[in-house]
Amino acid sequence: MADSSMDVVSKIARQEVDNALNQAAKEVAQRYDSKGTDASVGWSGEAILMKATSEERVKAVLDVLQTKLVHRGVSPKALDTGEPKAFGKEYRIEATLQEGLTQENAKKLGKIIREQGPKAVKVLIQGDELRVTSKSRDDLQAVQSLLRGADLDVAVQFTNYR
């Protein structure tokens, strides 16, 4: 019998992020507590830029965006946000989308799988994804539940389950 395998990846559905961003922009424009604060959220090149007149308001805009992302099925871990910075009379938060596993994160995931996962599982780093192979599909499902339960720095998905 051939080995079963799956890939552990970190990918983002750009269209879902765009939809969440549009929904967040509409809600921020209509919210009573953001009236008069010039609060906004939108694309700034490849990054997402949130602006408001106070630090609390810009954090509220970030919270609205994160809520909309969760509703659209995008993990908030995929959003790398900075601290609010003052630019003149307004505060800004710039957030970037993290896509793909870095070598460091792939090594951490591999270590978690080797230490806590089933012993028959083999892990191989391939670029920005992790290939997990085993003779048993049950072992692959055990690895999936292990990674879902682990406290990771990145959002992970499982693809090419064969």
Residues of the chain with CATH 3.30.70.990: 14-97
> Domain 14-97 belongs to what topology?
Alpha-Beta Plaits (3.30.70)
The residue assigned the tokens 């765009």 is 18
In 10 A of CB 22, how many CB atoms? 13
Whether the CB-CB separation of 76 and 82 falls below 8 Å is answered with no
Residues of the chain with CATH 3.30.70.860: 4-11+101-159
Q: Hey, what amino acid is at 132?
A: V
pLDDT at position 130: 92
Closest CA to 62 of 87, 85, 36, 88: 85
Arch. (CATH architecture) of 4-11+101-159: 2-Layer Sandwich (3.30)
| Per-residue pLDDT of the chain in tens (162 residues, 90 and over written 9) | 568 999 999 999 999 999 999 999 999 999 887 777 889 999 998 999 999 999 999 999 999 999 999 999 998 888 999 899 999 999 999 999 988 888 999 999 999 999 998 999 999 999 888 999 999 999 999 999 999 988 888 888 999 888
Supply φ then ψ for residue 38, to 5 degrees: 50, 35
Whether the CB-CB separation of 7 and 157 falls below 8 Å is answered with no
Name beta bridge partners: 49: 42, 94
For the whole model, what pTM was predicted? 0.83
- Taking the CA atoms of 100, 106, 112 and 118 in sequence, report the sign of the dihedral they define: positive
Whether the CB-CB separation of 81 and 66 falls below 8 Å is answered with no
Token pair for 90: 């307004």
